[in-house]
C-alpha cells in the first residue's frame, strides 16, 4: 500500500498540474467540431519545413547540432533569398499529390519568423534580402486553390533571450544566463495573434517543443484560449508526445502510427480526438542535401493506407531548398502518391478506421455501409478475416469492379483474392454491407 502511494502520488500531482495549465473548461465550438470532421475526412496533408537553416542543407536542427551561437546564426539570414519560390507551384504540387492541407513552419526552434512579425525583427522581412512574407504568399495561394493551411509553431526557441530557464536543448547559443519566462510567453502569444489575424482562415496550429521543458508552466490555457477566441475553427495540436491536454483538438504522432512507439518518444495512448501522424520522405525534416535515403512511393502509399486504417491522417514532409524549389526526388514521389490517390482515393478520403483493427497484412477503412479491405502484403489466394457482425451484400475489386468470391462463416469471413500484381501497392476489396 505504502509502495503504491509512493508511486502514484507524484504522478497524480503531475497530471493535476498539467490539467490546471491547459484549457480545462474548453468546449469546442460548432465550427471547431465541423473542422475536426473535415480534418478526419481530409486524410492527407503536406508538411513543409522551411527556414534559414535550409541554406546549410543540414536539417532544421543545425544550429543546435553544430553548436552555432545565435550571433553567428544570425548571419545566415542575409543569404536567404528564395527567388525561385513560387507559391502557386507548391500548392499545385500539394494538390497533385492528393493532399487536402498544408502545414508549414512559421517559426522553428531557431526562432526565426518566416512571416512579417511586428514583435521582433528576427523575421524574414527585416533580416533577409528577399523581404517578402512567404506565409502570406502561401496563404493567399492556398485560399485561391482551396487547400487549408496550418501553421507549425515552435514553442521552443534557441534564439530568444527570454526563453529562460533553458530546457534540454539550445545551450550553446551564447545567450545571457537570465531572462523573463513570462515575457517570452507574451511574445509567443503576440506572434500567434499575428498568425491568426493576418493570414485569413487558418486550419490550425501545430505546436512543437514543449518536450524541451516538460515541467515549465507553458500557460497553455491562455494560449489555447487566444487561438480559439480568434479563430474558433482552428484546430490545435501539439507534438508533446503525451496524451492530449484540454484545449487540444487533435492528437499527433511523430514517425509512428497511433498506438505504436517505434520512434522511442511517442505515447501509446490513443485519444478519441482526430489523429495525425507525420513522417519524412528521406530522413530529414528541413532540407538535407546529403540525405538520399528516399522512401519508395510504395512505402509512402503503404504508410498513408496504414494511417487511414488506424483512423489517422498522414502529414508527409518536404523540406524545400533554399532557393524555394522542392527537390525533384520529392516531386516525383508526391506526384506518384497523387496518381495512386486519384484511382484509389475512394477508399481513403472521408473514411474512418474500419471494423477490423490494423493487421500485418493490411488494414480496413469504412464509410457508411462500405468497408474497404486494403491488402498490402498477403501472397496467398485466400484471406480469412474475423467476422465483424455485419452481413455482406456484394464484394468487388476496387480496381475494376470485378466480383470477389467470399464465404461468410461462423465467426469469420473468407475472401478469395485475385493474384497479387507486383506493380500494385494495395489490392482493395470493397465490401458492400447489407444495411
Ligand atoms: C520535432 C522537431 O524537433 C523536429 O525538428 C521536427 O520539426 C519534428 C516534426 O518535430 O521532432 C522531435 C521532437 C522531439 C523529439 C524528437 C523529435 N524527442 O523528444 O525525442
249-272: pLDDT as tens digits: 999 999 999 999 999 999 999 999
User: Cα 52–54–60 angle (5° rounding)?
Assistant: 90
Nearest Cα residue to atom 10 of ligand 1: 208
DSSP-based three-state secondary structure for 235: strand
DSSP 288: B
64, 152 contact by CB (below 8 A) = no
DSSP 192: H
Q: For residue 22, what pLDDT band results from cuts at 50, 70 and 90?
A: confident
Nearest Cα residue to atom 20 of ligand 1: 265
CA of 138 to the centre of ligand 1 (A): 24
Q: Lowest mean pLDDT of 64-73, 169-178, 195-204, 413-422, name the range.
A: 413-422
* pLDDT for residue 21: 65
- Which atom of ligand 1 is the closest one to the Cα of 60? 5
Ranges assigned E (strand) in 117-218: 148-154, 204-208
12 versus 151: the higher-pLDDT residue is 151
Phi (first) and psi of residue 329, to 5 degrees: -60, -35
Residue-wise pLDDT for 157-200, tens only, equals: 999 999 999 999 999 999 999 999 999 999 999 999 999 999 99
* pLDDT for residue 140: 98
Asked if the domains 2-351 and 354-433 are classified in one and the same CATH topology, the answer is no
Nearest Cα residue to atom 16 of ligand 1: 265
Q: d(Cα 252, Cα 267) in Å, to the nearest integer? A: 10
- Which atom of ligand 1 is the closest one to the Cα of 61? 5
110, 169 contact by CB (below 8 A) = no
CA of 262 to the centre of ligand 1 (A): 14
Ranges assigned E (strand) in 171-224: 204-208
265 lines ligand 1 (CB under 6 A): yes
- Which atom of ligand 1 is the closest one to the Cα of 212? 19
Residue 9 has pLDDT above 90, yes or no: no
Q: d(Cα 354, Cα 372) in Å, to the nearest integer? A: 8
Q: d(Cα 110, Cα 130) in Å, to the nearest integer? A: 19
CA of 219 to the centre of ligand 1 (A): 21
Residue 13 has pLDDT above 50, yes or no: no
Mean pLDDT taken over the chain: 94
User: What cell does 8 get?
Assistant: 502514484
Tell me the best of 239, 276, 282, 287 to mutate to test the pocket of ligand 1, counting ligand atoms within 8 Å of each CB and taking the most.
239
233, 226 contact by CB (below 8 A) = no
* pLDDT for residue 20: 43
Which of 111-138 are b and which e, b meaning 16 or more Cβ less than 10 Å from the residue's Cβ? bbbbbbbeebebbbbebbebeebbbeeb
DSSP string, 340-373: HHHHHGGGTTT-EE-SS---SSEEEEEETTEEEE
- Which atom of ligand 1 is the closest one to the Cα of 255? 9
Q: How far is CA 261 from CA 211, 252, 312, 395, in A?
A: 16, 12, 15, 35
The CATH number given to 2-351 is: 3.20.20.80
CA of 105 to the centre of ligand 1 (A): 13
Q: d(Cα 417, Cα 410) in Å, to the nearest integer? A: 20
CA of 385 to the centre of ligand 1 (A): 37
152, 204 contact by CB (below 8 A) = no
Residue-wise pLDDT for 279-314, tens only, equals: 999 999 999 999 999 999 999 999 999 999 999 999
Nearest Cα residue to atom 15 of ligand 1: 265
Task: Say which CATH class 354-433 falls into.
Answer: mainly beta
Tell me the best of 265, 277, 281, 316 to mutate to test the pocket of ligand 1, counting ligand atoms within 8 Å of each CB and taking the most.
265
Residue-wise pLDDT for 426-435, tens only, equals: 999 999 999 9
119, 187 contact by CB (below 8 A) = yes
Domain ranges of the chain: 2-351, 354-433
Residue 12 has pLDDT above 70, yes or no: no
Q: d(Cα 107, Cα 26) in Å, to the nearest integer? A: 26
Residue 19 has pLDDT above 50, yes or no: no
Nearest Cα residue to atom 7 of ligand 1: 285
Q: How far is CA 55 from the centre of its chain?
A: 23
Residue-wise pLDDT for 217-236, tens only, equals: 999 999 999 999 999 999 99
289, 57 contact by CB (below 8 A) = yes
DSSP string, 107-126: E-TT--BSS--SS-S-BHHH
CA of 419 to the centre of ligand 1 (A): 41
CA of 155 to the centre of ligand 1 (A): 12
DSSP 158: S
Q: For residue 1, what pLDDT band results from cuts at 50, 70 and 90?
A: very low
211 lines ligand 1 (CB under 6 A): yes
Amino acid at each position: 500500500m505504502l509502495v503504491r502511494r509512493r508511486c502514484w502520488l507524484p504522478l497524480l500531482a503531475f497530471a493535476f498540474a498539467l490539467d490546471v495549465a491547459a484549457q480545462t473548461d474548453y468546449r469546442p465550438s460548432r465550427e471547431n467540431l465541423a473542422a475536426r470532421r473535415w480534418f478526419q475526412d481530409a486524410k492527407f496533408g503536406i508538411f513543409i519545413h522551411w527556414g534559414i537553416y535550409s541554406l546549410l542543407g543540414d536539417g532544421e536542427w543545425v544550429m543546435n547540432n553544430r553548436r552555432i551561437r545565435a550571433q553567428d546564426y544570425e548571419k545566415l539570414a542575409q543569404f536567404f533569398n528564395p527567388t525561385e519560390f513560387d507559391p502557386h507551384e507548391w500548392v499545385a504540387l500539394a494538390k497533385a499529390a492528393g493532399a487536402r492541407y498544408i502545414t508549414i513552419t512559421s517559426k522553428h526552434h531557431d526562432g526565426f519568423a518566416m512571416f512579417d512579425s511586428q514583435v521582433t525583427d528576427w523575421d524574414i522581412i527585416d533580416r533577409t534580402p528577399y523581404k517578402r512574407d512567404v506565409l502570406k504568399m502561401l496563404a493567399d495561394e492556398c485560399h485561391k486553390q482551396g487547400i487549408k493551411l496550418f501553421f507549425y509553431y515552435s514553442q521552443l526557441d534557441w534564439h530568444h533571450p527570454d526563453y529562460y530557464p533553458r530546457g534540454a536543448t539550445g545551450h550553446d547559443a551564447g545567450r545571457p544566463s537570465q531572462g523573463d519566462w513570462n515575457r517570452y510567453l507574451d511574445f509567443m502569444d503576440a506572434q500567434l495573434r499575428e498568425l491568426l489575424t493576418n493570414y485569413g482562415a487558418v486550419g490550425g496550429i501545430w505546436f512543437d517543443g514543449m518536450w524541451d521543458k516538460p515541467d515549465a508552466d507553458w500557460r497553455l490555457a491562455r494560449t489555447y484560449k487566444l487561438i480559439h477566441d480568434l479563430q474558433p475553427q482552428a484546430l490545435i495540436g501539439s507534438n508533446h508526445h503525451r496524451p492530449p491536454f484540454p484545449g487540444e483538438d487533435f492528437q499527433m504522432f511523430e514517425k509512428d502510427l497511433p498506438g505504436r512507439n517505434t520512434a522511442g518518444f511517442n505515447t501509446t495512448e490513443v485519444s478519441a480526438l482526430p489523429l495525425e501522424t507525420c513522417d519524412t520522405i528521406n530522413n530529414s525534416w528541413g532540407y538535407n542535401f546529403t540525405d538520399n535515403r528516399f522512401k519508395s512511393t510504395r512505402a509512402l502509399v503503404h504508410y498513408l493506407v496504414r494511417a487511414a486504417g488506424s483512423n489517422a491522417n498522414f502529414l508527409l514532409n518536404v523540406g524545400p531548398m533554399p532557393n524555394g524549389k522542392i527537390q525533384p526526388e520529392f516531386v516525383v514521389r508526391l506526384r506518384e502518391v497523387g496518381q495512386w490517390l486519384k484511382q484509389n482515393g475512394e477508399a481513403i478520403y472521408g473514411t474512418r478506421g474500419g471494423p477490423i483493427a490494423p493487421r500485418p497484412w493490411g488494414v480496413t477503412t469504412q464509410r457508411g455501409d462500405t468497408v474497404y479491405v486494403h491488402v498490402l502484403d498477403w501472397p496467398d489466394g485466400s484471406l480469412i478475416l474475423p467476422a465483424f457482425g455485419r452481413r455482406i451484400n456484394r464484394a468487388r475489386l476496387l480496381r475494376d469492379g470485378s466480383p470477389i468470391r467470399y464465404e461468410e462463416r461462423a465467426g469469420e469471413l473468407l475472401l478469395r483474392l485475385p493474384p497479387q500484381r507486383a506493380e500494385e501497392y494495395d489490392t482493395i476489396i470493397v465490401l458492400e454491407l447489407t444495411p
